[in-house]
Amino acid sequence: MIKYNTYNRNCLRLSLFCFAAATGLLFIIFMYGCGSVGTIKSQINDLTFQQENLPVRTIRVAIANDNSREEQEINALLQEASNSLREQVGIELNRVMTKPIKWSTRTPEGMVEDMRKNFSTLEKRQFDIAIASVTYTASDKGLQLLGLILPIPVWDGCIDSTYRRYIVIKKLDKNILLHEIFHSLIFSEDHDTGGVMHAVQIQIVPGVPLNITEYLTPEDRKESLKNKWRNFNQIARSN
Ligand SMILES: [Zn+2]
């Protein structure tokens, strides 16, 4: 039986804070600068850095489609994420199959389990990671509104903790998808204090993240490169 750790570990959460919290956060941002500080952003044009990313690995992507998103939106998101992955760690995404999905639940651990069940054993060998891009439910939207006055977290993306290959994202956002994909390559820790693997996306104005960047920290990139060629049919662990 597949066991999932508490979904908190691998879910990217969104927090909306009231104005008082905003003042404190703006101070922190002033102190630490933008979200890209401490990441590999400044190195991406270095020749040595680019050579470390070779050879490029193509990761085969299966899409689980519940018809809540347009095909063009999903393809555009995959392309954006693929461009960033190629630049940072030499990985490209290639969409190889699509399968309809019906959700039995809307909990993150239940949704990744639905994803696992949706793909047969045979199909599992034909893709590396599976992604479902879904829309927020009415109750999610209610929680988001409540989050304007109370620090109530709403999850935006998650991945299973066993195979680290079944991803659900609720927000059509490249950085959230990248965050979940890097969970499939980073096992030594779940979240970092900086870079794209930061645990929480902080928003004061809805839709405008303050702390998240698409870039990894140097340590997270090192581990991603180490696990870049992992077999996604096997339980996730460091090579
Ligand atoms: Zn996470």
Distance 150 CA to ligand 1 centre (A): 22
SS3 sequence, 16-60?
ECCHHHHHHHHHHHHHHCCCCCCCCHHHCCCHHHHHHCCCCEEEE
Percentage of the chain modeled with pLDDT above 70: 79
Distance 20 CA to ligand 1 centre (A): 26
For residue 235, pLDDT over 80 is answered with yes
Give the burial class of 231: count Cβ atoms within 10 A of its Cβ; 0-12 exposed, 13-18 middle, 19 or more buried: exposed
Distance 181 CA to ligand 1 centre (A): 9
Per-residue confidence at 24, pLDDT binned at 50, 70, 90? very low
Per-residue confidence at 18, pLDDT binned at 50, 70, 90? very low
Distance 12 CA to ligand 1 centre (A): 4
For residue 29, pLDDT over 80 is answered with no
pLDDT tens-digit map of 93-124? 999 999 999 999 999 999 999 999 999 888 88
Distance 96 CA to ligand 1 centre (A): 25
Per-residue confidence at 150, pLDDT binned at 50, 70, 90? confident
For residue 140, pLDDT over 90 is answered with no
Distance 47 CA to ligand 1 centre (A): 30
Distance 171 CA to ligand 1 centre (A): 14
Distance 186 CA to ligand 1 centre (A): 10
Give the per-residue pLDDT at 200. 73
Indicate the pTM of the whole model: 0.84
Give the per-residue pLDDT at 121. 82
For residue 232, pLDDT over 90 is answered with yes
List helix spans (H) across the chain: 19-32, 47-52, 71-89, 108-118, 121-124, 138-146, 174-183, 218-226
Q: Of residues 192 and 32, which shows the higher confidence score?
A: 192
Going along the chain from its start, the domains and CATH numbers come out as 7-226 (3.40.390.10)
Distance 190 CA to ligand 1 centre (A): 6
The CA-atom distances, in angstroms, between 98 and each of 87, 130, 142, 149, 227 are 26, 9, 31, 39, 26
Q: Which two tokens stand for residue 217?
A: 């920290």
* Rounded mean pLDDT, 130-151: 83
Distance 166 CA to ligand 1 centre (A): 13
* Rounded mean pLDDT, 125-136: 94
Distance 182 CA to ligand 1 centre (A): 9
For residue 19, pLDDT over 80 is answered with no
Per-residue confidence at 22, pLDDT binned at 50, 70, 90? very low
Distance 73 CA to ligand 1 centre (A): 23
